[in-house]
A and B are shown apart, each in its own frame.
Chain A
Amino acid sequence: MTAGGGNLVLAGLRKDYGVGDPAVDRLDLEIAKGEFVALLGPSGCGKTTTLRMIAGLVEPSAGRILLDGDDLTAKPVHRRNIGMVFQNYALFPHMTVADNVAFGLEMRGVAATEIRDRVAEALALVRLTGFESRRPKALSGGQQQRVALARALVIRPDLLLLDEPLSNLDAKLREEMRGEIREIQKRLGITTVFVTHDQAEALALADRIAVMERGRLAQLGSPEEVYERPATPFVARFVGRINALAAAAGGDGRLRIGGQPVPTGDLRPAGTKATVMIRPQHITLSQPGISLLARVTGITYVGDVVQIAVAGDGFSVVAERGTADSSWRGLAVGQDVGVGWPASSALVFPENADGR
């Protein structure tokens, strides 16, 4: 099975509903042929509106959408040749699985014999051969998801859009489908835009992640870039867990928390306030006397990892250890510990970096 892959460009895309801030504002994004990009953000960040504008279901207030240099902005939905998988799958309840998958081909006037072959091929791709005459309601959630995927892919779209396709599945199935979607996307080499609010999903699936915040693009980068070098405190908080500490620079330019200097890579003008952010797995706990003094306030065993909450003078952080690492086993609530981290793993943002 083949599918075209197009190069997608969003230029100055904007959607204004007339009340409040625009849902999407000045969005510029270029997605290469065959690339898998995740639009990641909390609900209301404009990611779904963006996806629907690309599909043609929402009309942009300003800006342009280009696919392989072809301006789609004014093109009606049904002439765009874009495959879309909806959050609730939107399978036609009055048609069989085969008719659902054949629908897009029928609309394109494909000959009946070719339709039969291509439907069979698409169902084989999503491992649903033998389910042709079932009705959607006789399928499990995961199977419905596969039919939706087959229906979107069988038309050989230039672009595949996925709107939170995994959010209605249970955790185990979600992980399975995650791998399957990635594998099919790679095999077909189809340009894909994936909307999700689940940062783990975005990190695991995407070539690049576009983190959106209140209608704007907060950061665009590879999963490693977005996780390790977040551009803003918002991105740092949204992608993965992180500790945020309020610090102020002392006379020597070193950042201090509650008067004690903390490890960071850079010096700041005296008196400036900053937010220091550290991932839980980078926090080191040692004998008291070294680094910041704190006391253990809670230990939460989560299975793969154990989370150790500690609080000191003017700060509290959570450290995380893999349960294979036994160093945490001696710890008890109420015990004094020294809290530190490698200076290279601390992310320092000026205060109000989020513009709030």
Chain B
Amino acid sequence: MADDRPSQPGLAATLSLPAIAAVSLGFLLPVLWLARMSVNPTEPGGVLREGWTANQYVELFTDSFYAELTLASLQMSATATLCALLVGYPIALFLYRLESRWKTLLVLLAICPLLVSGVVRAYGWIVILGDAGWINSMLRGAGLIDRPIRLVNNHIGVTIGLTESLLPYMTLSLLAGLGRLDRGLEEAARTLGASPLRTFLRITLPLSLPAVVLGSTICFMLAVSAFVTPRLLGGGRVLLLATEIYEQALVTLNWPLAAAIAMALLALFSVVLVASGRLQRRVAE
């Protein structure tokens, strides 16, 4: 159907000026500044000097430490995203199907962790998971364990913390993406002889895949760039790309290297985005 409204490219451009300005000032300029920073030569003690060198990038791509770091980051993010998906999917499906006046309230409840700062939530997890925390106290009180199980300052703690912090984003993106799911389709499958499980596998799950890809992409990106949770719950023992950037920028004061790692992370994001876009188109068919 033809759109009869006269197109007004001038007006559209004018109206998007604030957005363009915000993106330029808040994103493009800092990224350009980072890119410039990443090719400055480094000097001991963190003295900054203007210049041109590829040393940082050479180090990044030759030192096996960074390869391990990248792998660890990808692994951790994938695990946390998968956990958030497994926990968030049933919640989103339940909320999507709910026909109750409490629906809005329950959706708000599902995303209200976003109202609390990540630092506070991380400390909350330390209280729960720590050696003298609730879980260990309970298990010891029940006589199930002699020594506390290490649940923080390691990968377990970071995974739990990341999963929890991703959950609201996952639930929201799944909810937004479940639009194609129609109760009538599931009912039709049931009348055609599909058990509830087969109905889920053949109808519900395939139709929710676009939502799954969307939610997983968003959460994966958030997880890779997450810094507070790995830092606090990892206790300095869980090394990831994001924590390494912090380390280089604020502890070692090697800004050019920190900038180079950040640029590498940005490249990684682009790859993930393109792959996700392709996948999205495939599953949406």
- A-side residues, CB < 8 A to B, are 55-57, 76-84, 86, 88, 90-94, 103-104, 107-108, 151-152, 155
B194: which A residues are within 8 A, CB to CB? 78, 103, 107
Between B190, B207, B285, the greatest number of chain A beta carbons within 10 A of the residue's beta carbon is seen for B190
Interface set, chain B 178-237, CB cutoff 8 A to A: 180, 182, 184-185, 187-196, 198, 202-203, 206-207
A108: which B residues are within 8 A, CB to CB? 193
- B-side residues, CB < 8 A to A, are 180, 182, 184-185, 187-196, 198, 202-203, 206-207, 285
| Bound-complex Cα distance A104 to B202 (A) | 12
- Contact indicator B187/A155 (Cβ below 8 Å): no
A57: which B residues are within 8 A, CB to CB? 187, 190-191
- Contact indicator B198/A88 (Cβ below 8 Å): no
Within the complex, which residue of B187, B195, B206, B285 is in contact with A90, where a contact is CB–CB below 8 Å? B187
Question: Assuming A57-B187, A86-B187, is B192 touching A107 (CB within 8 A)?
Answer: yes
Within the complex, which residue of B188, B202, B203, B207 is in contact with A86, where a contact is CB–CB below 8 Å? B188
A77: which B residues are within 8 A, CB to CB? 187, 190-191
For this complex, 26 residue pairs linking A to B, each with C-beta atoms less than 8 Å apart, are A55-B187, A57-B187, A57-B190, A57-B191, A76-B195, A77-B187, A77-B190, A77-B191, A78-B194, A79-B193, A83-B191, A88-B184, A90-B187, A90-B188, A91-B188, A92-B189, A93-B185, A94-B206, A103-B189, A104-B193, A107-B189, A107-B192, A151-B188, A151-B192, A152-B192, A155-B192
- Contact indicator B184/A155 (Cβ below 8 Å): no
Question: Assuming A93-B207, A94-B206, A155-B193, is B188 touching A107 (CB within 8 A)?
Answer: no
- Contact indicator A92/B185 (Cβ below 8 Å): yes
- Contact indicator B206/A55 (Cβ below 8 Å): no
- Contact indicator B191/A82 (Cβ below 8 Å): yes
- Contact indicator A93/B180 (Cβ below 8 Å): yes
Q: How many A-B residue pairs have CB under 8 A?
A: 64
User: Which 8 residue pairs across A and B have the least CB separation, nearest first?
Assistant: A104-B192, A107-B193, A90-B188, A90-B184, A77-B190, A84-B191, A107-B194, A78-B193
- Contact indicator B184/A86 (Cβ below 8 Å): yes
A78: which B residues are within 8 A, CB to CB? 190-196
| Bound-complex Cα distance A55 to B189 (A) | 12
| Bound-complex Cα distance A94 to B207 (A) | 7
Q: What's the least CB distance linking B181 to chain A, in Å?
A: 10
Q: What's the least CB distance linking B179 to chain A, in Å?
A: 12
Q: What's the least CB distance linking B239 to chain A, in Å?
A: 42
| Bound-complex Cα distance A77 to B184 (A) | 13
| Bound-complex Cα distance A80 to B190 (A) | 10
A84: which B residues are within 8 A, CB to CB? 188, 191
By beta carbon, the residue of chain A nearest B206 is A94
- Contact indicator B285/A81 (Cβ below 8 Å): no
By beta carbon, the residue of chain A nearest B192 is A104
By beta carbon, the residue of chain A nearest B191 is A84
By beta carbon, the residue of chain A nearest B189 is A103
Q: What's the least CB distance linking A83 to chain B, in Å?
A: 7
| Bound-complex Cα distance A80 to B196 (A) | 14
| Bound-complex Cα distance A176 to B162 (A) | 59
Given contacts A78-B192, A92-B185, A151-B192, 13 further A-B contacts (CB under 8 A): A56-B191, A57-B187, A77-B187, A78-B196, A82-B191, A90-B185, A90-B187, A90-B188, A91-B188, A92-B188, A93-B207, A104-B193, A155-B192
B182: which A residues are within 8 A, CB to CB? 88, 90
A104: which B residues are within 8 A, CB to CB? 192-193
B191: which A residues are within 8 A, CB to CB? 55-57, 77-78, 80, 82-84, 152
A81: which B residues are within 8 A, CB to CB? 193
B196: which A residues are within 8 A, CB to CB? 78
| Bound-complex Cα distance A55 to B192 (A) | 10
| Bound-complex Cα distance A94 to B210 (A) | 12
B206: which A residues are within 8 A, CB to CB? 94
Q: What's the least CB distance linking A81 to chain B, in Å?
A: 7
B203: which A residues are within 8 A, CB to CB? 92
A103: which B residues are within 8 A, CB to CB? 189, 192, 194, 202
| Bound-complex Cα distance A151 to B189 (A) | 10
| Bound-complex Cα distance A76 to B196 (A) | 10
A76: which B residues are within 8 A, CB to CB? 195
Q: What's the least CB distance linking B283 to chain A, in Å?
A: 9
Q: What's the least CB distance linking B168 to chain A, in Å?
A: 28
| Bound-complex Cα distance A85 to B191 (A) | 10
| Bound-complex Cα distance A84 to B194 (A) | 13
By beta carbon, the residue of chain B nearest A108 is B193
| Bound-complex Cα distance A28 to B21 (A) | 70
By beta carbon, the residue of chain A nearest B203 is A92
A88: which B residues are within 8 A, CB to CB? 182, 184
Q: What's the least CB distance linking A119 to chain B, in Å?
A: 13
A155: which B residues are within 8 A, CB to CB? 192-193
- Contact indicator B285/A94 (Cβ below 8 Å): yes
